[in-house]
Amino acid sequence: MIITVNPTTEEPIAEYQPMTSGEIEEMLRSSHRDYCSWKNVSLQERSLLMRCLGGLMREQKESHAALISREMGKPFAQAVAEVVKSAWVCDFYADHAESFLKPEESELDGGVRGVVKFEPIGLVLGVMPWNFPFWQVLRFAAPAIMAGNGVIVKHSPNVTGSAIAIEELFREAGFPQHLYRTVHIAIEDVDSLTGFMINHPTVQGVSVTGSTAAGRAVAAKAGRALKRSVLELGGSDPYLVLDDADVPKAVEVCAAARLLNSGQSCIAAKRFIVHSSVIEEFESLLLKRMQSAVIGDPFDSSVEIGPMARNDLREQLHSQVSRTLLQGARLLCGGKIPAGKGFFYPPTLLSGVRKGMAAYSEETFGPVAALIEAADESEAIRMANDTPYGLGSAVFSGNIERALVVAEQLEAGNCFINSFVKSDPRLPFGGVKESGFGRELSREGIREFVNVKSHCYSIPPNDENPQ
């Protein structure tokens, strides 16, 4: 049985019956039948339904946000923003899919014409995380479906209610009944049944958002099955504060980047690498900001940080903090599990973090900031790249040209200047190294799960408009 639990109260929310392999087989067959019809639907018709989906999300944003807050503890205002952003990605692909998938023609040698077309491939399996239960799904599913594919989602068990709500939205918007489906799998069966779906002949692609360990496991199965995959995995994002930065502004941005979603984000700021000439001021201001952050019930409008999504995640984070302190770092605030109900963890600032410490080398998924001192710009760059991850990064400097030169040297899929990293439908999103491969969003995202097919033919003589 799958049981969802409210992380604020630790009380059960709902129970769901896991699916069997036979039920999943029937679902895949039904979804494939709907895909076979959907792939022939015009882009104009697909766009109408996708816009309707976005509209429904906006109309129902508060009820869906409340569900997100109950299931994984996100502060309610942030949950509303997540649903609205998910509607945006629907509108974006409704508006731009036709131009992104437009056939590309070229004249070759000897009167020969080439045409490159972008055609759907079948069902795409999405293995999705709990931390942005709507956004992570829609940013993958909207382009895949607009490209003419069908989608199957294996969502995280603790947000099963959100998973079902998204499926109901697709149906309410008028999409074919089985084109977008959700599978519910018991934790003990995830490995075998995920492998079963990846190996199924109807499934032609896999998109994974989650930990690096999860990405490795799924990518290995996809590789053996010769199925294409996109992996958006963990990160230990470095934020470089140079000696000419506006320190108060940098602190404001860095704190927001660390505390958003209670610190539970792959692209949250995790390592603050600060030039030695400004680190004292930065540390003092950041400490005040971390200490002032209000933690509590996510439905309280004054609350900035809700509970962590699960107790095991809190225990893991606390272990990383404890090991970092034993390795010689200094605790400036937080660092203790509070008494009482709820999986809360206080905003925590670790100073004097160095290479070899847990908070330096591991991804910390929660409201924990690691402060690292750099002697100069070159050392800051070296420290930023001294990680197996490469998802996001940021540079703070009063000189934009200098910041851009530094950004070019950072090994990451995203780098923002004087701002925090965020995904945007208009920009390709993804990482390098152990943060994954492939891209979501923008034109690149919709082209990940298509057959890029080349057509070639001779131009008939005296025929100015060959078909």
Q: To 5 degrees, how large is the angle CA 184–CA 189–CA 190?
A: 70
- Indicate the burial class of 42 (C-beta count within 10 angstroms; 0-12, 13-18, 19 or more): exposed
Catalytic residues: 232, 266
Q: Are 194 and 204 in contact (CB under 8 A)?
A: no
Q: Are 304 and 76 in contact (CB under 8 A)?
A: no
DSSP string, 157-176: GGGHHHHHHHHHHHHHTT--
Quote the longest CA-to-CA distance of the chain: 84
How far apart are the C-alpha atoms of 227 and 397, rounded to whole Å?
Answer: 43
How far apart are the C-alpha atoms of 334 and 86, rounded to whole Å?
Answer: 33
Q: Which residue has the tokens 């001294």?
A: 386
How far apart are the C-alpha atoms of 318 and 326, rounded to whole Å?
Answer: 12
H runs (alpha helix) in 240-310: 247-259, 279-292
* Direct distance between the N- and C-terminal alpha carbons of the chain, in angstroms, rounded to an integer: 57
Q: To 5 degrees, how large is the angle CA 32–CA 36–CA 39?
A: 120
How far apart are the C-alpha atoms of 267 and 66, rounded to whole Å?
Answer: 24
Strand blocks (E) in 219-365: 228-232, 237-241, 269-275, 330-333, 348-351
How far apart are the C-alpha atoms of 141 and 428, rounded to whole Å?
Answer: 15
